[in-house]
Copies of this chain bind each other. A is one copy, B any other.
Amino acid sequence: MFQNKNTTPLSELGEFGLIDHLTKNFPLIHPSTHKGIGDDAAVMNFTEGQTVVTTDMMIEGIHFDLSYVPLKHLGYKSVIVNLSDVYAMNAHPTQITFSVAVSNRFPLEALEELYAGIELACKNYKVDLVGGDTSSSTKGLIISVTAMGQAQKQKITYRSGAKPNDLLVVSGDLGGAYMGLQVLEREKEVFKVNPNNQPDLALYSYCVERQLKPEARKDVIELMEELGIVPNAMMDISDGLSSEIFHLCKASRVGCTVYEEKLPADPQTSGTAEEFKINSSTALLNGGEDYELLMAIRTEEYEKIKGHPLLTPIGHFTDQKDDCNMVTGLGQSIPLKAQGWKNFNKDESA
């Protein structure tokens, strides 16, 4: 994407000038940040509550395809996927580190785009970039982000706290990012056949945005605070709903019943699934990268969340350990399948 412009080779900036150049616009706004980039380590004041830390690596050709992912979006998303893990602990993100390795096919302007995305994510979520590492790679682009956050001890939500009868609640809607990926992959194939074809993605704008520029559910965490709810258990949905339900049940030693008809979908997701001849429930259950939150909420708190547009109860937990079932639209109960949507390329975070 940078072939036709005047570009600057990375070598022109020298090894230390590069990081200075890329990070000069990043303000430090968080009170817990004492010292950011520029020393052997960043220094933070984490004296209140507990600190959560999570990390994720993203690799070109495995986690993203630069033929349709703009670098600014990639920078943004690479931060978001980590912030999502912080919110999934019911914590507030405070700092990130960002490491990147690039081969010399990337000019400075490519890294500037990437860092513009990081900067926007930091601004939108009020987190500080406090460190990282910039190096060369033999092939492609590699990103590793670590996010830190803070919360009061009694508010932190683990995967292990779900109790029988708790409601299984999901934020937002599901399957959109997966259908967005299908659209982008199809356009890529069309482009290969006819490079002059101008893709019209307007019909799929919601799904494509879910895939390219996901958001982390800061709003949901803030809503739960307003409602005075601390979920018994919580995790984010990065790997597909059904797979995450199994994680939650396994960690909490419970089972669950999910109702197919309750699964929240945007109409565009269902419509796009239909067009692609993909069973809509399959997309909702197994599509990844939605970065919604999955929670166990006490039944006593149902009245607080009832009808809220951000939260959908989709079932309940049971005392049947590891027994996860789905009641279909036809009223049949069938075993839920834990089918991660990718093979060995997903994270077991923390």
Binding site for B on A (CB under 8 A): 10-11, 14-16, 18-20, 34-48, 50-57, 59-63, 85-86, 88-89, 91, 95, 97, 99, 101, 130-140, 142, 144, 146-149, 156, 158-160, 234-236, 247, 251, 340, 342-350
Determine which of B130, B135, B158 lies in contact with A39 in the assembled complex, contact meaning CB atoms within 8 Å. Answer: B158
> Are the CB atoms of A251 and B350 closer together than 8 Å?
no
CA distance in complex: A88, B38 (Å): 13
Which residues of B have CB within 8 Å of A344? Answer: 10-11, 14-15, 18, 135-136
> Are the CB atoms of B101 and A57 closer together than 8 Å?
yes
Which residues of B have CB within 8 Å of A132? Answer: 55, 348-350
CB distance from A69 to the nearest CB of B (A): 15
CA distance in complex: A333, B147 (Å): 47
CA distance in complex: A86, B42 (Å): 9
Which residues of B have CB within 8 Å of A34? Answer: 50
CA distance in complex: A40, B56 (Å): 11
CB distance from A108 to the nearest CB of B (A): 11
> Are the CB atoms of A42 and B35 closer together than 8 Å?
no
CB distance from A220 to the nearest CB of B (A): 14
> Are the CB atoms of A251 and B51 closer together than 8 Å?
no
> Are the CB atoms of A345 and B39 closer together than 8 Å?
no
Which residues of B have CB within 8 Å of A158? Answer: 35, 39
Which residues of B have CB within 8 Å of A340? Answer: 15
> Are the CB atoms of A41 and B101 closer together than 8 Å?
no
Among residues of B, the one whose C-beta sits closest to the C-beta of A85 is B40
CB distance from A167 to the nearest CB of B (A): 20
> Are the CB atoms of B130 and A350 closer together than 8 Å?
yes
CA distance in complex: A146, B46 (Å): 17
Quick one: given A11-B343, A62-B135, are A44 and B40 in contact (CB under 8 Å)? Answer: no
Determine which of B41, B54, B345 lies in contact with A88 in the assembled complex, contact meaning CB atoms within 8 Å. Answer: B41
Among residues of B, the one whose C-beta sits closest to the C-beta of A90 is B40
Shortest Cβ-Cβ A-B pairs, 8 listed: A131-B350, A144-B144, A41-B54, A40-B88, A46-B46, A41-B52, A19-B348, A61-B138
> Are the CB atoms of B149 and A41 closer together than 8 Å?
yes
CA distance in complex: A139, B61 (Å): 10
CB distance from A72 to the nearest CB of B (A): 21
Which residues of B have CB within 8 Å of A345? Answer: 15, 135-136
> Are the CB atoms of A41 and B130 closer together than 8 Å?
no
Among residues of B, the one whose C-beta sits closest to the C-beta of A100 is B57
